[in-house]
């Protein structure tokens, strides 16, 4: 594809994104996004960073899922002051690697960069990984826990259909000082267990879905100091645009849903999320 054709294709894709929501009264961050996927699809991450800033989303956390995306995230954070990075091997990546130790060593080296502010997303995924892949997945998870504690950076957890085992491994290894439950997907009981352990629950666009009252109930019991908000873009677009591409500029839709679930004024919800982001990942 020529550069001109690539630019036109990227423009068409951008036009498929939802319209911008009303700006927030106080700036917040997107605690989990994948700008590398935008870049791979021919889009311009800078365009999405700028669009987010216009609605009050002034900080983005670019999340690594393998060595390639982790390297990309470090470079992106170096180029864009609004972006910081996390690095890790996704739990579904670990069983596919022929040399898991070498990949873990490269993640550990990247973790030393000052623009890297977290280790993740790591964890357990029992939805996609078959039985034979569970052992390397858990070994990778344990290695990431140790790395987060060694470098003193937050651990960002991917948890799919693995709630009890996530807690089992964290309790067994000893959790790092800060644990972020990315795209929290549990019910009130699991939220209560996470809150009791001091974990931070990061809510994505799924909290706006009509079929997710358990997520709103989980948000309602979570103290404001333990809440973050994220997109997981380009996935998990909030209502009323579910099914269309997601981006950081759509965070206001999720923040408004969280404020409603918690019965908090929107400005107070924004301030709490912003303060949490600075405490956990900052300063930018």
Residues that constitute the known binding site for a divalent metal cation: 32, 34, 121, 158, 182, 232
139-172 burial, b at 16+ Cβ within 10 Å, e below that, comes to ebbebbbbbbbeeebbbbbbbbebbebbbebbee
Helix, coil or strand: residue 89? coil
Q: Do 54 and 23 form a contact (C-beta atoms < 8 A)? A: yes
| Alpha-carbon 129 to chain mean position | 20
Task: For 211-245, give the DSSP string.
Answer: T-HHHHHHHHHS-GGGEEE---BTS-PPTTSTTS-
DSSP-assigned beta bridge partners for residue 158: 123
Residue ranges of the annotated binding site are: 32, 34, 121, 158, 182, 232
- And the tokens for 86? 């996390």
Which residue's entry shows tokens 């034979």? 132
Question: Within 10 Å of residue 87's Cβ, how many Cβ atoms?
Answer: 34
* Residue 102 and residue 67 in contact, taking contact as beta carbons nearer than 8 Å: no
């Amino acid at each position: 594809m020529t550069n001109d054709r690539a630019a036109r294709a990227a423009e068409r894709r951008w036009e498929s994104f939802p319209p911008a929501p009303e700006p927030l009264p106080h700036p917040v961050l997107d605690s989990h996004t994948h700008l590398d996927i935008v870049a791979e699809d021919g889009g311009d991450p800078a365009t999405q960073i700028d669009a987010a800033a216009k609605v009050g989303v002034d900080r983005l956390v670019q999340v690594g899922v393998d060595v390639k995306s982790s390297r990309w995230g470090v470079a992106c954070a170096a180029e864009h002051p609004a972006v910081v990075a996390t690095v890790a091997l996704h739990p579904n990546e670990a069983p596919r690697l022929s040399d898991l130790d070498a990949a873990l060593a490269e993640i550990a080296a990247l973790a030393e960069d000052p623009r890297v502010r977290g280790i993740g997303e790591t964890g357990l995924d029992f939805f996609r990984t078959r039985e034979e892949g569970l052992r390397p997945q858990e070994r990778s998870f344990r290695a990431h826990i140790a790395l987060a504690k060694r470098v003193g950076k937050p651990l960002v957890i991917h948890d799919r259909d693995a709630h009890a085992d996530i807690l089992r491994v964290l309790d067994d290894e000893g959790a790092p000082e800060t644990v972020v439950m990315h795209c929290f997907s549990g019910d009130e009981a699991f939220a209560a267990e996470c809150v009791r352990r001091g974990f931070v629950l990061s809510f994505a666009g799924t909290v706006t879905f009509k079929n997710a009252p358990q997520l709103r109930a989980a948000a309602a019991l979570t103290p404001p100091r333990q809440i973050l908000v994220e997109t997981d873009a380009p996935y998990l677009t909030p209502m009323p645009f579910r099914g269309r591409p997601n981006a950081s500029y759509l965070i206001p839709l999720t923040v408004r849903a969280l404020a409603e679930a918690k019965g908090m004024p929107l400005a107070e919800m924004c301030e709490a999320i912003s303060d949490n982001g600075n405490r956990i990942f900052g300063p930018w």
